[in-house]
Amino acid sequence: MTTKTRAFESPGKYFQGPGEMQHLEAYTADYGKTVYAVTTPSFVDRVRRTLVPEFEKADRALICEKFGGQTDMEELKRLTVAAEAAGAEAVVGIGGGKALDAAKYVGIQLTLPIVMVPTIVSTDAPTSALSATYTAAGEHAGSIYYKRNPDVIVVDSQVIVDAPARFFAYGMGDALSTYFEAKAHVDHDVKNRVGDGYQTTLAAMALSELCYTTLMAKGVKAYQDVVAHRLTQDVEDIIEVNTLLSGIGVESAGCAAAHALNSGFSALSECQDASHGEIVAFGTLCELVLEDWPRKTIHQVMDFNLAVGLPVTLADIGLSSDDKARLMRVAQKAFTTKHIAAVPKATAPEVLIEAILQADRLGRSMRTRLDQ
């Protein structure tokens, strides 16, 4: 019998619950006296008011650095230089996905412990061993992959519920792709993201499937609860889906067509107003069409997207189906990513374009029926 080495990776520790942000000092107690926090601008005052005093009581320092808003290389290098000058012994990211990605970059460059404190759950950035980079103009410039995941993730579920509900939906859009992309890797025997030649573990595949089944069972109700600012068990479950389950699925399996298309669509100026989760949600529909998934599954995903305000058509992410030149640019960009290796049928950009157009037609048809 010939077998392959299987591999699994994940963050070191994960804490989730209401009020958990206030325990940041305790969760970083083993990481030295000086902690450098890359903080989204909207949370700077709160961090200085509520968290800095907790560190001072413990005779430690929490240095709160305002994130510049974009993970372009100039900003990433600025933060790294500032953290080193401050004598940082650990790096914390507090904010959305880009602030967290910036903190990961700093921690990796300085070989320091990395702690993630998301204030929204719009992506699985807290879990991942990468930083998505962008140009100053907002075009996706590629991802920097690391050999380790964050050491600790601290998710304050009350903070998540207090954020605008659209971010919660965006996270579900990102998580929506996890199972299908992981399955593409397994079904087509593509190496996983842990390293060269490694096979995806049963654990990673099971968590990826749990990600999808939990979204379908609880996602719509959880979204409604967040809209009403209610912290419920369904909300807690979907927070875990958006961060931990989706993140492990990506880390220990990988991405496929949905994220390849995200790279393509985000390269267009028309899509700059669409979030990562929105683009991935539509990209997931394109992947299902491309891989000839049963129409029942495609309709289930479309129903879900419509119920939580996620895209089902090209127009929803700012594009027209008539602009074939723009779609060709999307497809060609998608084919430059490593994710395309997990796609079984996209043998040419033209095939990918046809899948995009078919998904768009199905989405428009479903929306028309609902409007009648």
Binding-site sequence positions for NAD(+) = 97-101, 119-122, 128, 130, 134
Binding-site positions read 97-101, 119-122, 124, 128, 130, 134, 174, 259, 276
Q: Which residues of the chain form beta strands (DSSP E)?
A: 6-7, 13-17, 34-39, 61-66, 90-95, 114-118, 130-134, 140-145, 152-156, 199-200
Binding-site positions for glycerol read 124, 174, 259, 276
| Token pair recorded at residue 138 | 């907002």
Residue positions counted in the chain? 372
CA-nearest of 137, 118, 119, 138 to 128 is 118
> For the purposes of burial, counting CB atoms within 10 Å of the CB of 286, is it exposed (0-12), middle (13-18) or buried (19 or more)?
buried
Determine how many CB atoms are found less than 10 A away from the CB of residue 104.
28
As a whole number of angstroms, the distance between CA 286 and CA 92 comes to 36
> How open is the CA angle 91-97-99, to the nearest 5 degrees?
40
Backbone angles phi, psi at 313, to 5 degrees: -135, 165
> How open is the CA angle 259-181-339, to the nearest 5 degrees?
45
User: Which residues are within 8 A (CB) of 313 and not within 5 positions of it... i.e. 6 or more apart?
Assistant: 282, 360, 363, 364, 367
CA-nearest of 93, 80, 238 to 172 is 238
At 15, is the secondary structure helix, strand, or coil?
strand
Amino acid type, 134: Y
